[in-house]
Structure 1
Amino acid sequence: MLTLEAKLYGKTEQFKALDEAIRTAQFIRNYCIRYWMDNAGVGQYDLSALTKDLAKQFAWCKKLNSSARQASAERAWASIKRFYDNCKKQIPGKKGFPRFKKNVRSVEYKVSGWKLSEDRKAITFKDRFKAGTFRLRGGYDLHLYSIEQIKRVRIVKRSDGYYAQLCIDAERKVKHDFTGKVTGIDLGLEHFYTDAQCNQINNPRYLRKSEKRLKRLQKRLSKKAKGGKNREKARQRLAKQHLRISRQRKDWLIKLASALVQSHDLIVYEDLQIKNLVKNHCLAKSINDASWGIFTNWVDYYAKIHGIVCVAVAPQYTSINCSNCGEEVRKTLSTRTHKCLCGLVLNRDRNAALNILAKCLEMLGIVLPNTVGRTEINAWGENNLYLIGETQLDKLIR
C-alpha cells in the first residue's frame, strides 16, 4: 500500500466545510468509543451498524458520506482492538485503554464521497457538506495508477494548510545490487549511529538548534490576550515552526535510511525500548529529538522493498561486552573508549555495533572469523542471499 500526498488549494468557505467534516468524524469516533464502554460484547460490526443509526438521529451526521462514517467507526475499533491485544500479550504498564479525542485533524473517505478530475490535478468531495473541488499540488504523477487502485482518501489538517493523502493498492519493489556487505549499527546521541566499520553519522539535533526561536515564539504567544486574533496568529507561527522542525528531521531520516539500505545486504540494529528510555528526564528531549524509532521503521520499510534482510536484536550487554574476547567491561555513559584486558582499545560505539552484528550472525548460524574489521560475506549474492531457512528468518525479521 502506497500513500501519496498532495496539498489542497481552495477557498476559505471550502476549508470551513472540511473542518465541519473533520469535527463530525471526531464525534462519530468518540460516540463509538462511548457505545463500546456502555455495552458489553460490542464488536466491529456493531460499531459499523451504529453509524447508520447516528445518521438518522443527527441531521449533521448524515451530511458526512457513509464511507467516511464507517471509516471513523473503524478508527474507534482499531483503538479498542489494540487495547485487547495488549491485554492478551500482558505487556507491562498501561494497556492503552481507548480515549476520547478532542483535537482530531483528519477525516477519511473510502471508495465513495470523492472524485478525481480527468487530468488528476483536482479532487471533488461530494458529500452534503458541499466542500466542492480543490486543486491538488504534489510531486507525484497520479496517472500511473488507476482509480480502482485508490482505496482511501484522507484529508489531513496541518498548521500550513490541508492535505489529501491517497492510499493506493500497489507494491513498490526496487532492484538491489547485492555486494555481500553486512553491518550492525549502534544508535546514540553523541553520534546518531556508529556502524561496525566505524562510520559515524553526526546527530543533526534539529530541535536543539531551533530552541531559541521556539522560545521566542512561545513568549510572544503567552503575551497575547486569549481569544484574540493576534493570539491565533502567534499560535500559527509557533505551530509552523514545530512543523518545519519535524519535516526537517523526517526528511533527513528517510534519506539516511535509504542510503544505508542501498549499500548493504544485511542490517542489524538494536531493538530499543524507547518508551522506557525517555523516562530519564535528563535525556528525554535528546532521545525524542533523535527519533530512533522513525529511523528504524524506515530502515525496515526500505529493506522490504529492496529485498534484503533487516534484523532487530536485543540491546542488552552490547555496550558492556568486549567484541574481541566477550569479557564484561563496565563503563559509565561518559566513558567513550572501550579498553579490555585482552588489549582491545576501541571506540565504545563501534564495539557495541560489532556486538550487535555478532548477535545476529550467531542467531543466523553464520561465523565470521576475526570479527573486528571484517564485515563482509563474499558468498552472499542475489540468488543465494538467504543461506538459512525461511522459517528461521521469519522468526528473526521484525
Structure 2
Amino acid sequence: MKDSTVVLRTYKYRLYPSKSQETNLFRVLHACHGLYNMALAERKYAWQLERVHVPTKKLNDLGKHYRKTFPYAQQMHSQTTQSVIEQVDEAYEGFFRRVKNGEKPGYPRFKPRQQFHSFEFKQYGSGCKIDGRRLKIYGVGRVRVRWHREVLGKIKLVRIKHQAGEWYACFVCEVPRKHTVTSDWEIGIDVGISALLTTSEGEKVENPNYYRNGQAKLRRLSRKLARAKRGSKNRQKALQAVQSQHQHIANQRHDFIHKLTHTITDIYGWVAIEDLAIRNMVRNHHLSKSILDSGWGLFKEQLQYKAAEAGLQLKLVNPRKTTLKCSNCPREFTNLTLKDRWVECPCGLSLDRDHNAAINILKQAGWATSVVANVECG
C-alpha cells in the first residue's frame, strides 16, 4: 500500500572517478547494455516463433548465467542485473498495454551502446552505499563525489548515469510531506509559447528560449562534428562538445523552471493547470521545437511533485475550449487563430487571450468565486 505521508525525491550529484574507476564504470554500463539486448532477443524470438511470453524467472536465470560467462559481467551486482531485466519487462508491458488500447506502438527495439546511459542498484546498501565522503560502487570502488547538498530522507534506489561525458549518482529518496501550505489563494495557469505562462491574475512569465538562444553555438559544434573523421579522437571530442551544449541548455531550462515552480508553490494554496497531451502536440512540426524549448512537460512534472510535497491542491483540468470560451459569459469565440492575441465579447469583455484562458482554467477547477473582477468589461 502506498504511503501517503511520504513523497519520492531525486538528488543528483556529480561523480569524479579515477581513470581506472571510469574504465570499470564503462564496463558495467556496457555489460548492462549487452544483457538488455540479450533479454530483449529472448522475449522477441519466443513471441515471434512460439507466441509465448518468457517468464520473468527465466529472464532472471538468464541474467545469472550472463554474469558468470560474459566478459566484465561479473562486475555487475545482482541488483543491477535484476533492474535491467525489469527494464525489458516494462518495455514489453508498455507495448502490449498500448496495443490493447488500440494504438499502434513500435515494437521494443534493441538499443545501440551509445543510447544506454545508466544502471541501477534497486536497494540502497546492496551494491552501492555512501562511504564517508565517497560512494562505494560494486565492481568499481570508492568514487569521489561532489556533495553540493545533503541527501534527505530514506534512500530507496541509486542510479549511476553517464551524461555528456560526465558521471552522476542519482539518489531516489522517500521524504516526509512538508504540508507547509497556509495560503488560501487560488490561481489558474495557462502555458504558452511566447509567454511561458499567463496567470488568472494577468501576470505573464516570458519564455527564456534557451534552445533557440543556444542554437547558433550548437550549429557550429554540429558542423565541426560532421567534419571530424569517424573513429578519431577529434570526433570524440566534438561529440562531447555537442552533448555538453545540449546538457547546458537543459540545465538552464531546469533551473529556471525549478525556481518558477518553487515561487508558485510558496505563494498559492490552490493551483489549476491544463492537463495537456504534450506528446500529441509535438507532432505539429510547426510548434514542436517551441513547445519542447518551453519545457511544458518539465513545468507540469515539477509542479506536481512540489505540490504533493507541500500539500497544496493542484488540479489538472481538461484543456478543451479553455481558449475559445469567454470567461465572463457562456459565449464562445469564433474564427480564432494563433495570430489573435486579444479577445473581445459582446458581453463587454476585452482581454488578453491567454489571460482569458487562465481564468477559464481556474473556473473549471471549481474553486473560483469571482475571478473576473479586474478585467475590462463594458
1:6 aligns with 2:10: no
Q: Quote the residue 2:3 is aligned against.
A: none
Matches of 1:85 and 1:233, distance apart in 2: 41
Matching residue's letter, 1:136: V
2:312 to 308, 313, 316: 308
Q: Verify the 8 A CA contact 1:150 1:166 in the aligned structure 2.
A: yes
Q: Quote the residue 1:384 is aligned against.
A: none
1:43 aligns with 2:64: no
In structure 1, list runs of 5 or more residues that go unmatched: 376-398
| Fraction of identical pairs, as percent | 31
Deviation at 1:258, TM superposition (A): 1.4
Q: Verify the 8 A CA contact 2:129 2:135 in the aligned structure 1.
A: yes
Deviation at 1:160, TM superposition (A): 4.1
1:87 aligns with 2:99: yes
Deviation at 1:342, TM superposition (A): 1.1
1:123 aligns with 2:135: yes
2:121 to 109, 124, 130: 109
Q: Verify the 8 A CA contact 1:82 1:96 in the aligned structure 2.
A: no
1:132 to 128, 141, 162: 141
Matching residue's letter, 2:145: L
2:229 to 218, 225, 228: 225
1:358 to 347, 360, 363: 363
Matches of 1:138 and 1:54, distance apart in 2: 35
Q: Quote the residue 1:321 is aligned against.
A: 325
Deviation at 1:166, TM superposition (A): 2.2
Deviation at 1:228, TM superposition (A): 1.5
Q: Quote the residue 1:340 is aligned against.
A: 345
- Matched position secondary structure for 2:235: helix
Correspondence 1:117-196 to 2 at 5 A = 117=131, 119=132, 121-127=133-139, 131-142=140-151, 149-168=154-173, 170-196=174-200
Q: Quote the residue 2:110 is aligned against.
A: 100
In structure 2, list runs of 5 or more residues that go unmatched: 1-7, 47-51
After TM superposition, the score normalised by the length of structure 2 is 0.89
Please identify, of 79-88 and 312-321, the stretch whose mean Cα deviation from structure 2 is larger.
79-88
- Matched position secondary structure for 1:171: strand
Residues 185, 56 of structure 1: alpha-carbon distance in 2 compared, 3 angstrom cutoff: same
Please identify, of 16-25 and 151-160, the stretch whose mean Cα deviation from structure 2 is larger.
151-160
After TM superposition, the score normalised by the length of structure 1 is 0.85
Q: Deviations over 1:141-179 (max 9, x none)?
A: 34x66xxx43322210011411112233x2232242422
Deviation at 1:214, TM superposition (A): 1.0
Q: Deviations over 1:263-314 (max 9, x none)?
A: 1111111111112221221111111101101100111111101111111111
Q: Verify the 8 A CA contact 2:271 2:315 in the aligned structure 1.
A: yes
1:214 to 207, 211, 218: 218
Q: Deviations over 1:344-376 (max 9, x none)?
A: 101100111111111111xxxx562x431379x
Correspondence 1:61-72 to 2 at 5 A = 61-72=73-84
Deviation at 1:45, TM superposition (A): 3.2
Q: Quote the residue 1:78 is aligned against.
A: 90
1:275 aligns with 2:287: no
Q: Quote the residue 2:36 is aligned against.
A: 29
Matches of 2:71 and 2:109, distance apart in 1: 25
Deviation at 1:58, TM superposition (A): 2.8
Correspondence 1:364-379 to 2 at 5 A = 366=367, 368=369, 370-373=370-373
